[in-house]
């Protein structure tokens, strides 16, 4: 079995939807990025890619490539799982932590897990997801952006 770690960060801006864990969440601002800027899924993809010894999401989905403009990160996650399969691996479980002052994601956690689990090919209980604030400190604490950490465990297929 192999473990990978991922981190991602995006600035909050007006005029964009807030997409976290594949779910659009009501909020006055959204995350800025080339794709849908789903900070949770970006951290997860980097964790999965890292566990397999593959390069990061910037390599696989470069922001310079117009094909990924506004891309749905769940679709990108499907592609990453396919890359793992080509290398002979499958996801086993993952755990993610969102750093954000607002909004509270508790009401959306089950929906996020229900979106992520089938893409990974695991039960929803194998997807860990929680959030914490930055206690008002730094860019996250000031509401300027969000960050996420993720770890993922993969195993050889079969």
pLDDT for res 85: 98
109 token code pair = 């956690």
Report phi then psi at 135, rounded to 5.
Answer: 55, 35
pLDDT for res 145: 97
Residue 102 DSSP symbol:
S
pLDDT in tens for each of the 158 residues of the chain? 999 999 999 999 999 999 999 999 999 999 999 999 999 999 999 999 999 999 999 999 998 999 999 899 999 999 999 999 999 999 999 999 999 999 999 999 999 999 999 999 999 999 999 999 999 999 999 999 999 999 999 999 98
Please provide the distance, in angstroms rounded to a whole number, between the alpha carbons at the two ends of the chain.
12
Over its C-alpha atoms, the chain yields an Rg (Å, rounded) of: 15
Tell me if 82 sits within 8 A of 146, measured CB to CB: no
| In 14-126, beta strands by DSSP E | 18-20, 23-25, 30-31, 89-99
pLDDT for res 134: 93
Tell me if 6 sits within 8 A of 153, measured CB to CB: no
Quick check: pTM over 0.75?
A: yes
Distance of alpha carbon 43 from alpha carbon 118, whole angstroms: 18
Give SS3 for 111: helix
Distance of alpha carbon 120 from alpha carbon 25, whole angstroms: 22
Tell me if 109 sits within 8 A of 74, measured CB to CB: no
pLDDT for res 158: 80
> Which residue ranges form the domains of the chain, and what is each CATH number?
2-156 (3.30.1330.50)
pLDDT for res 96: 98
């Amino acid at each position: 079995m192999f473990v990978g770690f991922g981190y991602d960060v995006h600035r909050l801006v007006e005029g964009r939807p807030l997409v976290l864990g594949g779910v659009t969440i009501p909020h006055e601002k959204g995350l800025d990025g080339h794709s849908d800027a789903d900070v949770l899924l970006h951290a997860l993809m980097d964790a999965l890619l890292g566990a397999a010894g593959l390069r990061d999401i910037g390599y696989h989905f470069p922001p310079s490539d117009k094909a990924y403009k506004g891309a749905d990160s769940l679709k990108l996650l499907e592609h990453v799982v396919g890359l793992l399969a080509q290398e002979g691996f499958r996801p086993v479980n993952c755990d993610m932590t969102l750093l954000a002052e607002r909004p509270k994601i508790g009401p959306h956690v089950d929906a996020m897990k229900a979106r992520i689990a089938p893409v990974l090919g695991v039960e929803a209980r194998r997807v860990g997801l929680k959030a914490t604030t930055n206690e008002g400190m730094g860019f996250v604490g000031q509401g300027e952006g969000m960050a996420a950490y993720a770890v993922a465990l993969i195993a050889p297929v079969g």
